[in-house]
Amino acid sequence: DGGITQSPKYLFRKEGQNVTLSCEQNLNHDAMYWYRQDPGQGLRLIYYSQIVNDFQKGDIAEGYSVSREKKESFPLTVTSAQKNPTAFYLCASSDRPWEKLFFGSGTQLSVL
Amino acid sequence: DQQVKQNSPSLSVQEGRISILNCDYTNSMFDYFLWYKKYPAEGPTFLISISSIKDKNEDGRFTVFLNKSAKHLSLHIVPSQPGDSAVYFCAAREWSLNMLTFGGGTRLMVKP
């Protein structure tokens, strides 16, 4: 079945630690995105990529980094510079940029 | 400044009746609008979309209405079913800025 796989589903980060969230898609989509959702809030864009080896910052990119070395993969690293990382992180992809995004099941990141 | 607002954080409806979820926006450059449904601890799933050149789009029990002069979007679900209980997000695209902005969501509860 085609879809987007995010792992792990739950992740705990210690102070000063970098953690990486995985996102893989087999939909053959060019565009991929990372969003963050805080309780009771909407989704806010962290980074997006419209093509391999290219990515752009979203509204809240500080403290995060990404790479897009393969079409199917778009990992997100939450660095120690992100002071408030506790949130639900959602990866998405789309065939055409900014149209009908398909979302993964999310990763809940918490700070120990 | 929130460009996409869902002013009702929650809505309760009886099974079989109509559910109407509302969304207001401020940016007249938005050209494409989407509705997503989200269950807890899962990623949003796409429901229905509408281009700014249309004022209505229908898909089964779901109909989206767009009133450009009022900058208002609504999703109608008829008839409502208990399985429709979820959080609903509206989203709006501004193509020139490579941006898809989400509202804060409305929690719909459909009572049997």
Separation between Cα atoms, residue B21 and residue B11, nearest integer Å: 8
Separation between Cα atoms, residue B69 and residue B24, nearest integer Å: 11
CB contact at 8 A, A10 and A78: no
Determine, for residues A106 and B42 on separate chains, whether the beta-carbon distance falls below 8 Å. Answer: yes
| pLDDT confidence tier of residue B69, bands split at 50, 70 and 90 | very high
CA distance B72 to chain A (A): 18
- Transcribe A51-68 into DSSP letters: ETTEEEE-TT-TTEEE--
CB contacts, 8 Å: B43 with chain A: 4, 6, 90, 92, 103-106
CB contacts, 8 Å: B104 with chain A: 40-42
Determine, for residues A43 and B4 on separate chains, whether the beta-carbon distance falls below 8 Å. Answer: no
- Predicted pLDDT at B52: 95
- Predicted pLDDT at A1: 61
Determine, for residues B41 and A106 on separate chains, whether the beta-carbon distance falls below 8 Å. Answer: yes
Note whether B41 contacts A: Cβ–Cβ < 8 A: yes
Per-residue model confidence as pLDDT tens digits over B20-41? 999 999 999 999 999 999 998 8
Residue B1 has pLDDT above 80, yes or no: no
The CA-based dihedral angle spanning residues A61, A64, A68, A72, taken in that order and rounded to the nearest 10 degrees: -100
Separation between Cα atoms, residue A77 and residue A97, nearest integer Å: 22
Q: List beta partners, residue A88.
A: A37, A108
- Predicted pLDDT at A50: 93
- Predicted pLDDT at B88: 97
Residue A29: phi and psi, rounded to 5, are: -85, 140
Q: How do beta strands A10-13 and A107-111 pair?
A: parallel
Residues with Cβ within 8 Å of B5's Cβ and at least 6 positions away in sequence, in order, are B23, B24, B25, B103, B104
- Read off the pLDDT of each residue in B82-88 and give the average, rounded to a whole number: 96
DSSP A84: -
Residues of chain A falling short of pLDDT 50: none
- Predicted pLDDT at B24: 97
